[in-house]
């Protein structure tokens, strides 16, 4: 349960001097909240105008949930970056598959071309495409599941 609504009920019971009700809520505080409330009560907040407004503003109140959320956010940022790199690599490999398919298509066209000069031109284009695609393939990172 969130500590804020629980504290508000505790504070309301404390103001009206309902000891059993305030004890009921106090027992349901987290250990960090209990420590902060104890320190806050030592400042006599009901009578002392200089006392902190609530235990949430005191250094004794450990915000472990906030720290945990920050850790998860940092991990999420790292995982997102890894996912973006993996997505880019996948797109690069799909692009190369299309390029190689184009070279194979041209190879099939060569066998059906009656004109020898046109066949030679298409063969040069096919070899050039294959060489360039292979050069790109060599510099691409190897997927992590293959290494």
C-alpha–C-alpha distance, residues 49 and 95, integer Å = 69
In a domain, 68, yes or no: no
Domain housing 37: 3-57
Contact between residue 48 and residue 29 where contact means Cβ atoms under 8 Å apart: no
Cβ partners under 8 Å of residue 59, min gap 6: none
In a domain, 65, yes or no: no
**116 and 84 part of one domain:** yes
In a domain, 144, yes or no: no
SS (H, E, C) 67-100: HHHHHHHHHHHHHHHHHHHHHHHHHHHHHHHHHH
In a domain, 74, yes or no: no
Number of folded domains that form the chain:
2
In a domain, 8, yes or no: yes
In a domain, 95, yes or no: yes
**96 and 128 part of one domain:** yes
Tell whether the model's pLDDT for residue 96 goes beyond 90. Answer: yes
In a domain, 63, yes or no: no
pLDDT digits (tens, 9 = 90+) for 67-83: 788 899 999 999 999 99
pLDDT digits (tens, 9 = 90+) for 119-147: 999 999 999 999 999 999 999 888 777 76
Contact between residue 129 and residue 99 where contact means Cβ atoms under 8 Å apart: yes
Tell whether the model's pLDDT for residue 1 goes beyond 60. Answer: no
């Amino acid at each position: 349960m969130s500590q804020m609504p629980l504290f508000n009920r505790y504070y309301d019971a404390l103001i009206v001097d309902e000891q059993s009700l305030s004890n009921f809520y106090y027992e349901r505080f987290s250990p960090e909240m209990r420590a902060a409330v104890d320190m806050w009560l030592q400042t006599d907040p009901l009578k002392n105008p200089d006392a902190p407004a609530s235990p949430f503003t005191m250094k004794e109140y450990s915000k472990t949930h906030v720290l945990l959320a920050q850790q998860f956010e940092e991990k999420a940022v790292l995982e997102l970056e890894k996912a973006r790199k993996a997505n880019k690599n996948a797109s690069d490999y799909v692009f190369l598959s299309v390029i190689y398919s184009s070279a194979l298509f041209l190879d099939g066209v060569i066998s059906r071309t009656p004109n020898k000069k046109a066949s030679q031109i298409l063969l040069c284009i096919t070899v050039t495409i294959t060489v360039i695609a292979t050069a790109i393939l060599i510099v691409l990172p190897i997927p992590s599941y293959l290494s």
